[in-house]
Chains A and B, each alone.
Chain A
Amino acid sequence: DAGVIQSPRHEVTEMGQEVTLRCKPISGHNSLFWYRQTMMRGLELLIYFNNNVPIDDSGMPEDRFSAKMPNASFSTLKIQPSEPRDSAVYFCASSLGSGGSYEQYFGPGTRLTVT
């Protein structure tokens, strides 16, 4: 099994540009999570999908952030326009079941730097 796949692994962009992060969950998993990790705030849940439907997006910082899951094997997290404070490592994770009742499998992350 390939595990959770994220792309790109690193992204450097200028303030104001659009950034799109991509995730392919493990086949058969029905839940997908997007997290952001920074030194200051630790690991924060941004949004959670179950069966491709957004269940909880209360962690999305503001309207500049949006996430989609058009099918069971693909999700995107978009930031438009990007700001320096968005610099962080963004992780995608998937699990077999809903919510916090199952172990989650994390991708390698995308390190985003906004200058």
Chain B
Amino acid sequence: SQQGEEDPQALSIQEGENATMNCSYKTSINNLQWYRQNSGRGLVHLILIRSNEREKHSGRLRVTLDTSKKSSSLLITASRAADTASYFCATGSNYKLTFGKGTLLTVNP
């Protein structure tokens, strides 16, 4: 069964706005990762946050992790049309990643 569940399932915004996607999970993890998938392509790794970290930044991306609430959020600032894609969270245990079903982000020019 899927570990992480993203919310919302779909999000549509205007270029320049910020996009926030959330991920909730059920069991303990040693890390949480976010991936992007453009239509018809493979997944691309965006950022990994370990269970002892609370926040991480990479360019326009900001990820938070709250292990007490078993939740994470991905913030994309100043969105661009090229950010249009599906975004997946994946919870990492010692031996595998388990992916959620993703959030479809549409950034309108």
Contacts from A to B (Cβ < 8 Å): 4, 33, 42-43, 45, 48, 55-56, 91, 93, 98-109
Checking A33, A101, A103 against B30 with a beta-carbon cut-off of 8 angstroms, the contacting residue is: A101
Contacts from B to A (Cβ < 8 Å): 2, 30-31, 33, 35, 41-45, 48, 88, 90-102
- Select from chain B the residue with minimum beta-carbon distance to A106: B42
Checking B2, B33, B97 against A42 with a beta-carbon cut-off of 8 angstroms, the contacting residue is: B2
- Select from chain B the residue with minimum beta-carbon distance to A6: B42
Counted as pairs of residues, one from A and one from B, with CB atoms less than 8 Å apart, the total is 64
Which of chain A's residues have a CB closer than 8 A to the CB of B43?
43, 91, 93, 104, 106
What's the nearest-Cβ distance from chain A to residue B100, in Å?
7
Question: Given the complex of chains A and B, what is the CA–CA distance between A55 and B42 in angstroms?
Answer: 23
Q: Are A99 and B94 in contact (CB under 8 A)?
A: yes
- Select from chain A the residue with minimum beta-carbon distance to B44: A106
Q: Are B42 and A100 in contact (CB under 8 A)?
A: no
Which of chain A's residues have a CB closer than 8 A to the CB of B35?
106
Checking B2, B90, B100 against A100 with a beta-carbon cut-off of 8 angstroms, the contacting residue is: B90
Q: Are A98 and B95 in contact (CB under 8 A)?
A: yes
What's the nearest-Cβ distance from chain A to residue B87, in Å?
12
Q: Are A105 and B102 in contact (CB under 8 A)?
A: no
Checking A43, A56, A101 against B99 with a beta-carbon cut-off of 8 angstroms, the contacting residue is: A43
Q: Are B30 and A100 in contact (CB under 8 A)?
A: yes
- Select from chain B the residue with minimum beta-carbon distance to A4: B42
24 contacts between A and B (CB under 8 A): A33-B96, A33-B97, A43-B43, A43-B88, A45-B96, A45-B98, A48-B95, A56-B95, A93-B42, A93-B43, A98-B94, A98-B95, A99-B92, A99-B93, A100-B31, A100-B93, A100-B96, A101-B30, A101-B92, A103-B45, A105-B45, A106-B42, A106-B44, A108-B42
